[in-house]
């Protein structure tokens, strides 16, 4: 099995590609037509330093990488069973795998560079010789949790991304701790939450494209797993604001193929050196981050089984009394009592990074749980993910559902889309679950919004396009956090999550980047 690596931004240099442009005049001419300028001239002369301008850097590197790959094939090198690119290089990996043709890839990269270059005011800082856990601890200790881990290149080569003033503060703090740091020559906070506007605009741009089936395995920076073809557009857009998990991606590669037949296109060999470092470092037995999940009304420990199938996170469902494995316990209808119970389940399991996720009723309970965790002085979650619910300061649309007569109650649940058809055929099962569901909806009706300061926890709100929520309903989650709110909309109704587990897993994984 062979592997091919494609470098990303940072490997550009004046004079790059000169011989390739000469050997591949047709592709070079097509690239110049798309770009509207003389690319060989730009690479040869670097006028006004434009080669370091993201708008030019990304398309230039894409073309040079593509020509280098084509050139290697003509010289008899294998196409590669596994393809892996670093950030921008991922576009070359997808091009090599046949996801899109040369010009289409260049158009995508051109737009990506344009959008990313608009985000000013940010900076990036390379941190050398310290582990992820050590760096996170230092950031927490010095109140720098608003910085994101943009690149996880090796066990000891990390890159922080964030507002320029905060990066300068991190540079000072880490320097005082004798941690080696180096500022990157970039003008924005790439691969961080500050790229959210670029990510969203790029996602809209990608809707105008269709992608072909992949001919080889392409490992995604964002997930460190092979691309799922149906999620190709979403993964590409999310990558802009998500971490480049190069270390984990290479580890995945090493578990599936050796390095004897691994080559890097171009002549920098920066990726090859990182791969050798990773190969020489035993894989640390770091515990998997936990994702504590709170089920929706009627849900039990199986509610998030689909999510667990698509993520390396340790998915732990906090089950309410009277549900699933706790079916023999009395049902609870008071939100405070439920949150007490949820807190008891996780209190002694906060020994590693964790996040909270809740859908519908579970979203409000997870939100209240965040506040209880803060009140107790326990370690805060890395992220709160919520779906299928408006901001909790707004009254729930389902607050009176528990009052409905039986026939109307079931008809309403049918419209919500969460009722298995076979359940309607068994009166005894209906009666059994009606008791559980009514208790859960009673808890939703009893919800009272806490008048407390917002959380210092990033929130991501997910919703279905066919749900009843307006943009303002979802945007109301912003009131609950001092951090910028992230939102995603998916096709589907209130239970869109059942068709979107891979995407939700990807978003949950990226929630630990901060």
Name every residue whose Cβ is closer than 8 Å to that of residue 274 and which is 6 or more positions away in sequence: 153, 154, 157, 246, 250
Query: Is residue 87 annotated as a catalytic residue, yes or no?
Result: yes
Does an H or E element contain 162, and which? Answer: strand 157-163
216 and 256 in contact (C-beta within 8 Å)?
no
In angstroms, the CA 180 to CA 174 distance is 7
The DSSP string of 41-109 is HHHHH-GGGGGGSHHHHHHHHHHHHHHHHHHHHHTT----SEEEE-TTHHHHHHHHTTSS-HHHHHHHH
Query: What are the helix (H) ranges across 264-360?
Result: 270-280, 305-308, 335-346
In angstroms, the CA 372 to CA 192 distance is 28
SS3 512: coil
> CB under 8 Å, gap of 24 or more: what pairs does 276-285 form?
277/154, 277/155, 277/156, 277/157, 278/154, 278/155, 278/247, 278/250, 278/251, 278/254, 279/250, 279/254, 281/154, 281/155, 283/251, 284/131, 284/155
In angstroms, the CA 200 to CA 489 distance is 11
How many CB atoms neighbour CB 121 within 10 A?
Answer: 12
65 and 16 in contact (C-beta within 8 Å)?
no
CB-count exposure of residue 263 (10 Å: 0-12, 13-18, 19+)? middle
Q: Which residues pair with 67 in a beta bridge?
A: none
The DSSP string of 217-260 is EEB-TTTSSBPPGGGHHHHHHHHHHS-B-HHHHHHHHHHHS-ST
328 and 392 in contact (C-beta within 8 Å)?
no
Catalytic residue among 11, 68, 87, 390: 87
Catalytic residue among 86, 95, 191, 494: 191
What are the backbone angles phi and psi of residue 211, rounded to the nearest 5°?
-115, 145
331 and 338 in contact (C-beta within 8 Å)?
no
In angstroms, the CA 92 to CA 238 distance is 17
Residue (of 80, 77, 78) closest to 93 by Cα position: 80
1 and 256 in contact (C-beta within 8 Å)?
yes
Name every residue whose Cβ is closer than 8 Å to that of residue 172 and which is 6 or more positions away in sequence: none
SS3 205: helix
356 and 382 in contact (C-beta within 8 Å)?
no
Does an H or E element contain 466, and which? Answer: none
Query: Is residue 463 annotated as a catalytic residue, yes or no?
Result: no
**Length of the chain, in residues:** 514
Q: Which residues are catalytic?
A: 87, 191
């Amino acid at each position: 099995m062979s592997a091919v690596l494609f470098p990303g931004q940072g490997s550009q240099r004046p004079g790059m590609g000169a011989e390739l442009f000469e050997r591949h005049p047709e592709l070079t001419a097509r690239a110049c037509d798309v770009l509207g300028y003389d690319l060989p001239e730009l690479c040869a002369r670097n006028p006004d330093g434009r080669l370091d301008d993201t708008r030019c850097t990304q398309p230039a590197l894409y073309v040079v990488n593509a020509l280098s790959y084509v050139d290697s094939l003509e010289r008899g090198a294998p196409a590669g069973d596994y393809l892996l690119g670093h950030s921008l290089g991922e576009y070359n990996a997808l091009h090599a795998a046949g996801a899109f043709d040369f010009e289409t890839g260049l158009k995508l990269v051109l737009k990506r560079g344009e959008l990313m270059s608009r985000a000013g005011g940010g900076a990036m800082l390379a941190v050398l010789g310290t582990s992820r856990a050590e760096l996170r601890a230092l950031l927490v200790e010095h109140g720098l949790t608003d910085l994101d881990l943009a690149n996880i290149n090796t066990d000891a080569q990390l890159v922080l991304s964030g507002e320029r003033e905060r990066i300068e503060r991190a540079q000072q703090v880490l320097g005082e701790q004798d941690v080696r740091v180096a500022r990157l020559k970039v003008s924005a906070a790439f691969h961080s939450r500050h790229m959210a506007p670029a990510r969203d605009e790029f996602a809209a741009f990608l809707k105008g494209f269709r992608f072909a089936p992949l001919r080889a395995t392409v490992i995604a920076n964002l997930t460190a797993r092979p691309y799922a073809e149906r999620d190709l557009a979403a993964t590409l857009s999310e990558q802009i604001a998500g971490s480049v998990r190069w270390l984990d991606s290479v580890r995945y590669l090493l578990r599936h193929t050796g390095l004897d037949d691994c080559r890097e296109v171009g002549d920098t060999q920066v990726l090859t050196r990182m791969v050798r470092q990773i190969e020489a470092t035993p894989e640390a037995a770091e515990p998997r981050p936990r994702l504590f999940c709170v089920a929706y009304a009627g849900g039990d420990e199986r509610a998030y089984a689909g999510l667990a199938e698509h993520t390396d996170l340790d998915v732990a469902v906090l089950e309410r009394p009277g549900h699933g494995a706790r079916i023999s316990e009395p049902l609870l209808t008071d939100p405070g009592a439920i949150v007490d119970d949820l807190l008891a389940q996780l209190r002694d399991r906060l020994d590693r990074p964790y996040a909270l996720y809740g859908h519908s009723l579970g979203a409000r309970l997870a939100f209240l749980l965040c506040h209880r965790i803060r009140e107790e002085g326990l370690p805060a979650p890395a992220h709160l993910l919520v779906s299928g619910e408006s901001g909790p300061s707004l009254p729930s649309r389902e607050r009176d559902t528990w009052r409905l007569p039986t026939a109307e109650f079931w008809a309403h649940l049918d419209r919500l889309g969460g009722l298995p058809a076979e359940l309607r055929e068994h009166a005894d099962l209906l009666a059994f679950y009606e008791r559980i569901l009514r208790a859960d909806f009673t808890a939703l009706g009893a919800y009272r919004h806490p008048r407390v300061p917002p959380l210092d926890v990033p929130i991501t709100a997910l919703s279905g396009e066919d749900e009843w929520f307006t943009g303002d309903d979802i945007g109301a989650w912003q009131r609950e956090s001092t951090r910028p709110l992230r939102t995603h909309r998916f096709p589907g109704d209130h239970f869109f999550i059942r068709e979107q587990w891979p995407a939700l897993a990807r978003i949950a994984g990226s929630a630990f980047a901060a």
